[in-house]
Amino acid sequence: MKGFLLALTIISLAVPIALPLQVQAADTDSVLFDPVDIRAIMHENTSTSLMVDARANNVGSLSMSSLSIGIESLELEVIAVRVDNETANGETILRDDYTEITVTLPKVLEANSSVWLHLALVASDLQSPLVIAQDASHVSGDFLFYVRPLSVFANFTFTAVLPPYASLSNDYVVTLFPHSDSNFTDGQSLIFVWDVPLLQPGQERVFIIKYQLPNISTVQAQSSFLGSLLYGALGVIAGLALAFGGPRVIERLKRLGAVKYVGVTAEEEEVLATIREKGGSCTQKELYSLFDMSQSKMSLILTNLEQRGLIRRLKEGRENVVHLMEPKQAG
pLDDT at 265: 83
Residue 273 has, within 13 A of its CA and on its CB side, a CA count of: 9
Indicate if the pLDDT at residue 15 is higher than 80. no
Distance CA 171, CA 258 (A): 9
Architecture of domain 266-324: Orthogonal Bundle (1.10)
CB-neighbour burial class of residue 238 (10 A; exposed 0-12, middle 13-18, buried 19+)? middle
pLDDT at 314: 86
Which sign, positive or negative, has the C-alpha torsion 117, 118, 124, 125?
A: positive
pLDDT at 109: 95
DSSP state of 159: E
Choice between 93 and 223, residue whose per-residue pLDDT is larger: 93
Q: Which residues contact 74 (CB under 8 A, 6 or more apart)?
A: 94, 97, 98, 99, 125
pLDDT at 2: 54
Distance CA 252, CA 131 (A): 14
Stretch 189-193: mean pLDDT, rounded? Answer: 96
Which sign, positive or negative, has the C-alpha torsion 172, 283, 206, 102?
A: negative
Cα angle vertex 57, ends 55, 63, to 5°? 130
CATH class of 23-214: mainly beta
Question: How sure is the predictor about 296, in pLDDT bands with cuts at 50, 70 and 90?
Answer: confident
Cα angle vertex 204, ends 203, 206, to 5°? 165
Distance CA 177, CA 160 (A): 12
Least confident residue range of 87-96, 217-226, 243-252, 278-287: 243-252
Question: How sure is the predictor about 326, in pLDDT bands with cuts at 50, 70 and 90?
Answer: low
Least confident residue range of 52-66, 189-203, 271-285: 271-285
DSSP state of 330: P
pLDDT per residue as tens digits for the range 298-323: 888 898 888 777 888 887 777 888 98
Question: How sure is the predictor about 161, in pLDDT bands with cuts at 50, 70 and 90?
Answer: very high
pLDDT at 9: 52
Indicate if the pLDDT at residue 251 is higher than 80. no
Q: What is the pTM of this model?
A: 0.67
What is the bridge-based pairing of β-strands 281-283 and 190-199?
unpaired
Indicate if the pLDDT at residue 153 is higher than 90. yes
Question: How sure is the predictor about 25, in pLDDT bands with cuts at 50, 70 and 90?
Answer: low
The CA-to-CA distance between both ends of the chain, in Å, stands at 108
Indicate if the pLDDT at residue 135 is higher than 50. yes
Stretch 266-277: mean pLDDT, rounded? Answer: 90
pLDDT at 308: 76
Least confident residue range of 36-45, 56-65, 212-221: 212-221
CB-neighbour burial class of residue 266 (10 A; exposed 0-12, middle 13-18, buried 19+)? exposed
Domain boundaries, the chain: 23-214, 216-257, 266-324
pLDDT at 200: 94
Question: How sure is the predictor about 154, in pLDDT bands with cuts at 50, 70 and 90?
Answer: very high
Are 131 and 12 within 8 A, CB to CB? no
Q: Please give the mean pLDDT across all residues of the chain.
A: 82
Least confident residue range of 101-105, 261-265, 325-329: 261-265
pLDDT at 263: 62
